[in-house]
Structure 1
Amino acid sequence: MNTVELLENKIKTLDITAINLLDYRPTVNLRDFDIAPHLYKGLIVREKEFKESIEKVDWLLYKDTAVSLFCAIDAIIPQWVYMFISAKLSPYTSLVSRKHQQEHLIDLWIEQVSRTDFTHLLGKRVVLKANLKVPDAIYITATNILLSYGVKTLMYGELGMPKVVFKQMD
């Protein structure tokens, strides 16, 4: 038996559950909605002109997407503007945020992990697989959630050589 086979056999006997947090990444498409083109002279919100401009938007473009509202220029945007745009988007999506796309994605990802039932991991040894594509916030959320479910040991890395993060004392 070579070294790789020995390692594979040892891993199988460890009784560790591996979780790949990429599996919980939302699959929804993300879209931006820039308020700037709808501002009067590209500078300010004038209600009448703003509402007329918004009425011309093809809202179907945002169907079944997660929408991030922003303004590409440094303008003072009244709060009702975000409410107005959200109301226009509501028949097409409920995933509207004032955050940048990456932050919006992380929020949705956290929500996905938080909704997962991990009761089957009570008293188990769990490793969160290392992946640079997974933001730190997701690892933090997963750690807190898994500890609340009573995992015996929580690790990070790969099954063969995980880093122990938490170990419950017997």
Structure 2
Amino acid sequence: MSEDLEIKNKIAESGLINFDLSTLLPKGKRIGIDLKDFLFEGLILKEKDFREKISALNPEDYENSYLYIYNSADAIVPLWAYFLITAKLTETAKKIVFGNREDLEVLLMHNAVQTYDYTEMIGKRVLVKGCSDESIPENAYIELVEQLKPIVKSLMFGEACSNVPIFKN
């Protein structure tokens, strides 16, 4: 085949790094624990009953999972209650947070973005993938830009065929 007719992949030759933020999403089961289920009649925290229900939890059910603890009851729950449930499950769960599933995902992505090694991107042109099958918290994109701005040559968002330039250094 002559050089004139050779098909070239200009994207591959451009030195552009395609970065998919969803690759940083920690894999694993997400489990919500509603404190309402540990309250007497779903309304009142009785310490003895609460401690018995916490003791009855099987930590293996939460092994290698990401847990979020919340309270859907209209009840005041003392802070020590969260201590008890966390102490019971902290050795088997990967991470435990207070809040809803979205709060958990924001924290997990925060940790992933902050600890990722961006060395390969230094001085390069980077395209952050715009579409993903995974749900990525918007805050992760903000934190990513904070990490990349000082080190990359340029940053774009979208797809190689249709992207939005964000900045050039």
Give me the TM-score of the superposition, normalised by structure 2. 0.88
| Match in the other structure for 1:76 | 76
Q: Aligned AA for 1:47?
A: E
Please give the secondary structure, in 2, of the residue aligned with 1:41: coil
Please give the secondary structure, in 2, of the residue aligned with 1:110: helix
Matching of residues 9-158 of structure 1 within 5 Å: 9-131=9-131, 133-148=135-150, 150-158=151-159
Check conservation: 2:54, 2:84, Cα contact below 8 A. Answer: no
Greater alpha carbon shift after TM alignment, 150-159 vs 86-95: 86-95
Taking the aligned partners of 2:85 and 2:36, their CA distance within structure 1 comes to: 13
Q: Which runs of 5+ in 2 are unaligned?
A: 1-5
Q: Aligned AA for 1:14?
A: S
Check conservation: 1:18, 1:129, Cα contact below 8 A. Answer: yes
Deviation at 1:94, TM superposition (A): 4.5
Check conservation: 1:97, 1:104, Cα contact below 8 A. Answer: yes
| Match in the other structure for 2:168 | 167
Check conservation: 1:7, 1:160, Cα contact below 8 A. Answer: no
Deviations 1:56-78 (A, max 9, x none): 22222111101110112111110
Shift in alpha-carbon separation, 1:126–1:87, aligned structure 2, 3 A: same
| Match in the other structure for 2:3 | none
Taking the aligned partners of 1:127 and 1:7, their CA distance within structure 2 comes to: 23
Q: Which runs of 5+ in 1 are unaligned?
A: 1-5
Deviation at 1:35, TM superposition (A): 1.1
Deviation at 1:7, TM superposition (A): 9.6
Deviation at 1:8, TM superposition (A): 6.4
Greater alpha carbon shift after TM alignment, 7-16 vs 20-29: 7-16
Q: Aligned AA for 2:161?
A: G
Deviation at 1:40, TM superposition (A): 1.8
Taking the aligned partners of 1:25 and 1:7, their CA distance within structure 2 comes to: 35
Deviations 1:115-159 (A, max 9, x none): 1111221111101010253331111111111113x1010110111
Deviations 1:84-118 (A, max 9, x none): 11000122124110021122022112211221111
